[in-house]
Amino acid sequence: MSHFEKILVANRGEIAIRVMRACRELGIETVAIYSKPDQNALHVKYADEAFCVGEAHPSTSYLNQARIVEIAKKSGAEAIHPGYGFLAENHRFARLVESEGLIFIGPHWRTIEAMGSKIGSKRMMKKAGVPVLPGTEEGTTPEKAAMVAEEIGYPVIVKASAGGGGIGMHIVDDARALTAAIEAGQRIAQSAFGDATVFIEKYLVRPRHIEFQVLADANGHTLHLFDRECSIQRRHQKLVEEAPCPIMTPELRDRMSKSAVRVAKTAGYTNAGTVEFLYSEGSYFFMEMNTRLQVEHTITEAITGIDIVKQQLAIAAGKDIPFDQEDVTIRGAAIECRINAEDPLQNFQADPGKIVRYRSPGGPGIRLDSGIHMGYSIPVLYDSLIAKLTAWGMDRPEAIQRMRRAISEYVILGVRTTLPLHLALMHHPKFIKGATHTHFLKDEGVMETLPRYVREDETRMATLAASLKQGKEVVAITAAVNAYLAARQQGGNSGK
């Protein structure tokens, strides 16, 4: 098969649109699926065809495997792209797609199954010579965990073997809290993943989260697209990512990239994937492999010029990767901010609702991946991510400057968002220096400075809303930006 004629995208929002854009450039027709609340969503309007997949709850819509495959066959689609989230790393779904004579745009279901087990994948990589954190190699009991924890030393972290997104994780500082953490982790793992297996490993206090994007075709041609830093997180979920990692040296990149490629080859990997490491004090450790397209693929595309989604489609169609490792180079730096419909002052509580006014940023070096529009109502039942804002510059300082400017131009009225938090981060002295770690929000005073940035954002939005009531939209946008700049100037140098 040289290429696909029609693809179903088994997802929603910005990632569905991202995949469809690649398809449109390649002349491939697209099929969207949507739940009833999403019938007016942007991805539905963008696709060539769209089918209702079920009711609002994900279990009856975006997770309805049989119905999705039924729609794919009915529409004449040859392949299914899962995006990320929902069914993207579900080996049963990938197996079902294959069994129905369709192509799953991702790795083989056996690879997804093998890498979906944190315990099994760690064991596999340890045998392959990839550094892993010490801990229990099998599903653990409180008694076994206590013995291992004493051996490797506290603190340790309890993790769900089948988990992701920080669900079921518990940090344990001493032996007294270990049993309760394991039992809680098992309950949460069973409820969230249908698998109560948990394990413990050594907990690094202030590590950096560094990952490598990899590509592999069916003929064993495996390479990497360099590194990303993903240490700015809340509740173990990423908020800001950048490429390349600001502390990366040629020697460290050589070692880590070779490990990343070894992980992919050991797993028999095909298509696009991401190998994630924790880095601390000169050492790095394999954490997991994400067997799908990553949210933050945009920054890798920005610094390499390689369209990762197009590569996914080509590999799934049986084509070889058309370039070698030495052909991939880094140009400049890129930062991605995940804009969520959340109130960062209220412990990141989701704030779904109707977008009453919307204006996206633009200009040099700015990319916006979004699935919302003015008048769109953000549903309660789905992820709070509403847009990904990417800024590219010839170097990291320019990327930061462009991100600040883009945030000042971004207008979202109707829901609270994480835009003020991202602005606070872009002005934080330690972020500017690249001195980040996975506890940055909590340990570096970011949340203490946040109210100031929230007030500035509210002033900007209030000025905009007042001008809009007078029907002066162009004037309103200018006034909003001016209000922001005035607030920044009054703040002096304290946030710079």
490 or 67, greater pLDDT: 67
pLDDT of residue 471: 59
Q: What is the pLDDT of residues 68-101, one digit of tens each?
A: 999 999 999 999 999 999 999 999 999 999 999 9
Question: pLDDT, tens digit, for every residue of 162-219?
Answer: 876 678 889 999 998 999 999 999 999 888 888 889 999 999 989 999 999 999 999 9
Q: Counting Cβ atoms within 10 Å, is residue 179 exposed (0-12), middle (13-18) or buried (19+)?
A: middle
**Percentage of the chain surpassing pLDDT 70?**
93
Q: Which domains does the chain have, with CATH numbers?
A: 6-105 (3.40.50.20), 134-202 (3.30.1490.20), 208-490 (3.30.470.20)
Structure tokens at 333: 């730096």
Task: Assess whether pLDDT exceeds 60 at residue 496.
Answer: no
138 versus 126: the higher-pLDDT residue is 126
Report the alpha-carbon distance of residue 127 to residue 129 in Å, rounded: 5
Name the residue with higher pLDDT: 436 or 492: 436
Q: How far is CA 393 from CA 228, 253, 336, in A?
A: 15, 21, 12
Residue indicated by tokens 């946040």: 450
Of 414 and 488, the structure prediction assigns the larger pLDDT to: 414
Q: What is the set of active-site residues?
A: 292
For residue 458, what are the contacts with CB-CB under 8 A and spacing of at least 6? Answer: none
- The Cα–Cα gap between 442 and 32 comes to 40
To 5 degrees, how large is the angle CA 159–CA 165–CA 166?
40
Of 422, 305, 296, 426, whose CA–CA distance to 369 is shortest?
296
Q: How many residues does the chain have?
A: 496
Using one digit for the tens of pLDDT, what is the confidence trace for 221-258? 999 999 999 999 998 889 999 999 999 999 999 999 99
Q: Residue 481 above 80 pLDDT?
A: no
118 pLDDT band (50/70/90 cuts)?
A: confident
Strand-pairing partners, residue 9, are 32, 81
Which of 167, 173, 162, 165 is CA-nearest to residue 203? 173
The region, left, alpha or beta by phi > 0 then psi within -120 to 50, assigned to residue 442 is alpha
Task: Of 365, 434, 369, 360, give the one whose Cα is nearest residue 402.
Answer: 365
- Lowest-pLDDT range of 33-37, 197-201, 468-472: 468-472
